[in-house]
Amino acid sequence: MFIGENDKFKKFENKIWLSSPTMHGEELYYIKKAYDTNWMSTIGENIDVIEEKIAEKIGVYYSVALASGTSALHLAMKLAGIKRGDKVFCQDLTFAATVNPIVYEGGEPVFIDSEYDTWNMDPVALEKAFEIFPEVKVIVVAHLYGTPSKIDQIRQIADKHGAIIVEDAAESFGATYKGKETGSFGDYNAISFNGNKIITGSSGGMLLTENKEAAEKVRKWSTQSRENAPWYQHEEIGYNYRMSNVIAGVVRGQIPYLKEHIAQKKEIYYRYKEGLKNLPIKMNPFDKENSKPNYWLSCMIIDNKAMAKQVRSETEALYTREKGKSSPTEILETLAKYNAEARPIWKPMHMQAIFRNSSFITREGNGRAKTNAYIKGGSVGKDGKPLDVGMDIFNRGLCLPSDNKITKEEQDEIIKIIKACFN
Ligand SMILES: *Cc1c(COP(=O)(O)O)cnc(C)c1O
């Protein structure tokens, strides 16, 4: 499959990861502290400390440490009062955990297309969605790859229509918009400590809110909804969603390194930007004036004119080699060949088999009407740009190896490999 010029590179001896846990030693100290004091369950000092520190860092009053970001989003859906058949506006270009909790509660996601400035929810498409479904009361917005969305405009639209916002800040902990932390803009917000995130607990997540009553409900629901009684008394359905004090120890040891991790990720982003500047590609964009990303994943998108042919089925991809051009598939396969992990852009939710029947709204309204045209990649809006922005980014973009521990030399080598793909 690989032709001449791509064979001049050496395979990386140690695999270069997309984004793996980066430990510092303090994590062990707090794990051991939990062990030595026998607070090995879902109560303990580590939990109390990280709840306080992270609420303070993000600038919200209340936080509840949970088993995962997904469980935080699930309980956010319950707080939002989603019932069977309720429609919920949800960012289309995201990881599936943004949307699954809507479905856990019986809600029906309506997917909102992205825009090109931040790759997040397009406020124009969101406004269109309210024209079509004025009854909707909940919006789920994410900050993809650590880049803040146009959250001010989304908040304005939400307020205008009396809707609440659930903010999925799982990928963007530490990123700010107009000086304010992501995870503080929504009514109910989630962050994640999954192994690949900017800081990790090995797993874990947190719900953040300004609403005391909401935080208390989440505390209760996450520990099996026990009522205040001498026996197990239950008046609501409960969940086993609380974070372990051992996991909280890992998070506690990582918190002092959030700043350092962001600085490393930023350096990685700008090294790619500089190293790839002569190629017909762009790095994932952000609003330089108003936002500071946490640069969680560095991504690139190939200019239209430099896209070599690539076709993707539901589970497989093929590409052709063309002089001066390349494709995400060629770059992904080439990097993998040399033992470096890159990844496709998250495949848009409206294109997932499981959500084939869900509504999808673009900046010109109902996007499903033109599904066949999208599949052929030919649908453009009145402005001449692709109408299905999420699919366009998926087709032309990819996530680059962004591990905190990548060395300058390794990154230079990755840049050379990418360049060779365009030869
Ligand atoms: C990781 C992630 C989640 C889920 O967090 P977990 O802690 O893995 O459950 C949710 N949304 C997005 C956008 C994510 O990247």
DSSP 187-245: SEEEEE-BTTSSS--BSBEEEEES-HHHHHHHHHHTBTT--SSSS---SS---B-BPPH
Query: 165 is written with which tokens?
Result: 């916002």
Q: How many CB atoms lie within 10 A of CB 347?
A: 17
Q: What is the pLDDT of residue 60?
A: 98
The span from the CA of 73 to the CA of 54, in Å, is: 17
Residue minimizing CA distance to atom 2 of ligand 1: 170
With contact defined as beta carbons under 8 Å apart, do 333 and 1 qualify? yes
Q: What is the pLDDT of residue 212?
A: 98
Evaluate: CB of 67 within 6 angstroms of ligand 1.
no
Q: What is the pLDDT of residue 4?
A: 45
Evaluate: CB of 142 within 6 angstroms of ligand 1.
yes
Predicted TM-score (pTM) of this structure: 0.96
Nearest one of 87, 82, 188 to 136, comparing CA atoms: 87
Residue minimizing CA distance to atom 14 of ligand 1: 170
Alpha carbon distances (Å) from 71 to 98, 140, 371: 11, 15, 32
Instruction: Give the three-class secondary structure for 342.
Output: coil
Q: How far, in whole angstroms, is CA 210 from its chain's centroid? A: 22
Enumerate residue ranges in the chain where pLDDT < 70. 1-7, 369-378
With contact defined as beta carbons under 8 Å apart, do 217 and 83 qualify? no
Q: What is the pLDDT of residue 8?
A: 79
Ligand 1, residue 168: give the atom nearest the CA.
11
Evaluate: CB of 94 within 6 angstroms of ligand 1.
yes
Evaluate: CB of 170 within 6 angstroms of ligand 1.
yes
Evaluate: CB of 167 within 6 angstroms of ligand 1.
no
Q: What is the pLDDT of residue 7?
A: 62
CA of 16 to the centre of ligand 1 (A): 22
CA of 4 to the centre of ligand 1 (A): 40
User: E strands, 122-204, where?
Assistant: 138-142, 164-168, 176-177, 180-181, 188-192
CA of 378 to the centre of ligand 1 (A): 32
Residue minimizing CA distance to atom 13 of ligand 1: 95
Radius of gyration of the chain from Cα atoms? Answer: 22
Q: What is the pLDDT of residue 368?
A: 81
Pairing, β 359-362 against β 108-112: parallel
The span from the CA of 141 to the CA of 20, in Å, is: 25
CA of 114 to the centre of ligand 1 (A): 18
With contact defined as beta carbons under 8 Å apart, do 186 and 141 qualify? yes
CA of 170 to the centre of ligand 1 (A): 5
The span from the CA of 205 to the CA of 192, in Å, is: 4
The span from the CA of 183 to the CA of 203, in Å, is: 18
With contact defined as beta carbons under 8 Å apart, do 265 and 296 qualify? yes
CA of 197 to the centre of ligand 1 (A): 8
Q: What is the pLDDT of residue 378?
A: 56
Evaluate: CB of 249 within 6 angstroms of ligand 1.
no
Evaluate: CB of 295 within 6 angstroms of ligand 1.
no
The residue to mutate among 71, 171, 173, having the most atoms of ligand 1 within 8 angstroms of its beta carbon, is: 171
The span from the CA of 92 to the CA of 394, in Å, is: 11
Alpha carbon distances (Å) from 404 to 23, 32, 156, 199, 337: 10, 25, 36, 11, 21
Q: What is the pLDDT of residue 384?
A: 86
The span from the CA of 163 to the CA of 353, in Å, is: 28
The residue to mutate among 18, 95, 203, 347, having the most atoms of ligand 1 within 8 angstroms of its beta carbon, is: 95
Q: What is the pLDDT of residue 183?
A: 98
pLDDT tens digits for 160-181? 999 999 999 999 999 999 999 9
CA of 384 to the centre of ligand 1 (A): 34
Backbone angles phi and psi of 382, in degrees to 5: -60, -25
Evaluate: CB of 98 within 6 angstroms of ligand 1.
yes
Sign of CA dihedral 182, 183, 189, 193: positive
Torsion of CA 73, 74, 75, 76, to 10 degrees: 40
Amino acid letter, residue 103: V
CA of 52 to the centre of ligand 1 (A): 21
With contact defined as beta carbons under 8 Å apart, do 149 and 125 qualify? no
The span from the CA of 303 to the CA of 61, in Å, is: 44
CA of 317 to the centre of ligand 1 (A): 26
The region that residue 339 occupies, defined by phi over 0 for left and psi between -120 and 50 for alpha, beta otherwise, is left
Evaluate: CB of 200 within 6 angstroms of ligand 1.
no
